[in-house]
Structure 1
Amino acid sequence: MRAVVAYAPHDLRLEERPEEVEPDEGQVLVRIAAGGICGSDLHYYHNGGFGTVRLKEPMILGHEASAVVAAVGKGVEGLATGDLVAINPSMPCGQCEECQRGLRNHCNDMVFRGSAMRFPHAQGLFRETMIVRSDLLHPVGRGVAAGLAALAEPFAVCLHAVKQAGSVLGKTVLVFGCGPIGCLTIAAARLAGARRVIACDVVEAPLATGERLGADEVVLNDPEAGGLSPYKAGRGRIDVAFDCSGHPAAVASAIDCLRPRGILVAVGLSGSMPFPLPFVVTKELTVVGSFRFDTEFAEAVDLIGSGRIDLSPLISHTYSVDRVIEAFDLAGDRSQSMKVQIDFR
């Protein structure tokens, strides 16, 4: 089988790997259908990792994928040959202190597909075939496109982020950073009953996708344009802000826009940054982080599979796996792409 393997910065190879063909008890053989390129995949491609996380051996990339069931092992129920499934890349141990506390997304021995955070690395999903534990496969139902099914993982991240804010019902929400996670957060906030959703970015192109996914207003965050000025008036006009950029300027703007006792949910990852703590104190703001997901994966699959939400505006390009380098190069260009997916069929 062919797999997309990262060796070093800008050393990405489509290479042959041994193919597993016989699933054991409780396992399923699947053929990958579609895979979405994530920001972490781009970090491995361009930089060989991020922060202290570095490639130490060749690693198959990818943690956003859908697949078709090819064969089921003994004891597997609820799955049949030909079913389209979304693959949950998260494998918490279930035994550590955090898992026992119900915080499975903070597992101390997490195995997460396509991640170099542990060694040997957790090999990813960008391959033509693989054997997967049956409990990690979620049927998406008939008539659902493989590309939409592959959005379950990033959408689960955003469903979790919105939960971290508590109820957004009837509230005014501001989302900073309209990359794929920001746009899916817009969709999740709208689904959760936000009264008004404002999308903000320093680049104009992604704002159109944010609008298609439910933003009532889009703001180009140009200090000279003053687009956020109405929301900074008084002591702030925003109830809940989601920072999906990880940029210090966005965090500072979010705190300016939040009204007293507003909530800031930090979703985007970055390095250390200065933090306007005095305003957090004087406005009595709540600042909460959001990391990965747990039960939200099944929720995301159900929402996508049932058609209760249409995330198709997020998918800007789909490339055959034969053109994987082109796909990765395009995915890094925010002015030209949103979610770039790879078709493995």
Structure 2
Amino acid sequence: MSNTTPAIVVHGVDDVRYEDIELPEPAPNEVVLRIRYGGICGSDIHYWKHGAAGESVLREPMVLGHEVVGTVERTAADGSGPAAGTAVAVHPARRDEASERFPADRPNLSPGVRYLGSAARLPHTAGAFAERVVLPASMLRILPDGLDLRTAAIAEPAAVAWHAVGRAGELRGKSVLVIGSGPIGALCVAVAKRAGAAEIIATDLHEMPLDIATAVGATRVLQATDTEGIAVADADVVIESSGSVRGLFSAVRGATRGGRVVMVGLIPSGEQHALLSLAITRELELVGSFRFHNEIEDVLEALGDRSLDVAPVVTHVLPATAAVRALQIAADASSSGKVLLDFGA
């Protein structure tokens, strides 16, 4: 087996290269995974455009990517992983020991977690946008029978949405307002529909995301600039997925008295203005939602039994060799949803 593999590496702002990298020798509990599809996330775009994703600043070249699926090429020597030829999705979190406190049942909040394709630490945690990667067998999730790799490629972001909807509580028969209908917002719509929400209103600045939101279950859509329409939404639950302060304003205004606002969109770091007086007088619950724990397993099951329809969210599939073009397309929220990279059979 060759000890190199082609990969998508970010070297700095506007500097992404498709180049060969060294493939490490697997530890006994690690597999060699041949990647088939990788979904471009907002963090990948930020590393490419800004050299940072939030407070994670790029300080050395790093392989991008954490939304990946593929087939086991070489199984773990200790027998802990799936057999060669098994189709799997990847849970991108590697759980290290942490000295700081976090809830035992919510390891996604552990400060010791390493995420694939993250510059949060130095050395950075390499991502999985490569033809072959070496990963712990514990990060793999076997696909249900009949679930193809292309459909499964949406599992990681769908798990983020599943976690956010879970943070909202019981949705059956309730009204839901989703602020921002990019890939995560649209997936929140799809998951909320599966959870039995009676009404789902989706907002966005652009027509294409609203069309996608409608296709996956929104009963009504609003332009993000329609402040009056949003203010009278009177939703039991609001999911803020735009990651903007204005989006959070809209979320608070659109929530019914005693409602819950789930904040899944990552607001820029630092001090921000907020409509706290309105949140107080309406007794709103403002709830954070960060990544996910084991929800990816629920997502894969729901994709497998077709109770979760996310096909309209994927709008483009490009070869991995066209990574820069794929990033450009994914960065244009007005004309794309989820963009997948195809690393070949």
- Larger deviation: 25-34 or 3-12? 25-34
Kept in 2, the 8 Å contact 1:34–1:147? The answer is yes
Gaps of 5+ in 1: 232-236
Asked whether the 8 Å contact 1:35–1:147 carries over to 2, the reply is: no
Q: 1:115 aligns with which of 101, 104, 118?
A: 118
Q: Deviations over 1:95-130 (max 9, x none)?
A: 545456222111121111000011100000101111
Query: Which residue of structure 1 aligns with residue 299 of structure 2?
Result: 300
**Contact 1:94–1:100 at 8 Å: present in 2 too?**
no
CA displacement, residues 221-268 of structure 1 (integer Å, 9 cap, x when unaligned): 2348x443542xxxxx21000110122222222222211100011111
Tell me the CA shift for residue 329 of structure 1.
Answer: 0.8
Equivalent residue runs for 1:89-238 within 5 Å: 89-93=92-96, 96-98=99-101, 101-223=104-226, 226-228=228-230, 230-231=232-233, 237-238=234-235
Structure 2 residue matching 1:228: 3-state secondary structure: helix
In structure 1, the partner of 2:18 is 14
SS in 2 for 1:317: strand
Cα deviation code 1:30-78 (max 9, x no counterpart): 1000000000000001011133321000000001000111121233356
> How far apart, CA to CA, are the structure 2 residues paired with 1:249 and 1:60?
33
Matched position secondary structure for 1:185: helix
Distance (whole Å) between structure 1 residues aligned to residue 307 and residue 242 of structure 2: 27
Moved over 6 A (4+): none
In the alignment, structure 1 residue 36 sits paired with structure 2 residue 39:
yes
Give secondary structure in 2 for the equivalent of 1:75. Answer: coil
Amino acid at match of 2:209: P
Aligned twin of 1:340? 339
Secondary structure of 2:22's match? coil
Question: Residue type of the partner of 1:344?
Answer: F
Q: Which residue of 2 aligns with 1:287?
A: 286
Q: Say whether the 8 Å CA contact 1:6–1:61 is kept in structure 2.
A: yes
- Aligned-partner Cα distance in 2 for 1:126–1:191: 31
Aligned residue in 2 for 1:234: none
Equivalent-residue separation in structure 2 for 1:14 and 1:78 (angstroms): 29
1:57 is aligned to: 60
CA drift of 1:167 comes to 1.2
Alignment of 1:218-297 (within 5 A): 218-223=221-226, 226-228=228-230, 230-231=232-233, 237-271=234-268, 272-297=271-296
Let me know the Cα RMSD of the aligned residues.
Answer: 1.7
In structure 2, what is the Cα distance between the partners aligned to 1:121 and 1:281? 41
Normalising by structure 2, we get a TM-score of 0.93
Counterpart of 1:210, as a letter, is A
1:145 Cα deviation from its structure 2 partner: 2.7
**1:308-345 CA distance string (max 9 Å, x none):** 21211111000011111111111111121110110001
Distance 1:229 1:282 in 2: 15
CA–CA distance in structure 2, aligned partners of residues 206 and 194 of structure 1: 20
2:169 is paired with a residue whose SS is: coil
**CA drift at 1:94:** 5.2
Name the SS for the 1:307 alignment partner: coil
Q: Distance in 2 between matches of 1:109 and 1:254?
A: 31
The number of equivalent residue pairs is: 338
Is 1:312 the counterpart of 2:311? The answer is yes
> Offset of 1:12 from its aligned partner?
0.2
Deviation, 1:280, is 1.0
Which shows bigger deviation, 137-146 or 94-103?
Answer: 94-103
Q: Quickly say closer, same or farther: Cα 1:229–1:160, change in 2 above 3 A.
A: closer
State the secondary structure of the residue aligned to 1:240: strand
SS in 1 for 2:19: strand
Q: Give me the whole-angstrom Cα distance separating, in 2, the residues matched to 1:68 and 1:147.
A: 12
Alpha-carbon spacing, 1:255–1:44, altered in 2? closer, same or farther (3 Å): same
Counterpart residue identity of residue 256, structure 2: R
The amino acid of 1:170's aligned partner reads G
CA distance in 2, matches of 1:13, 1:323: 10
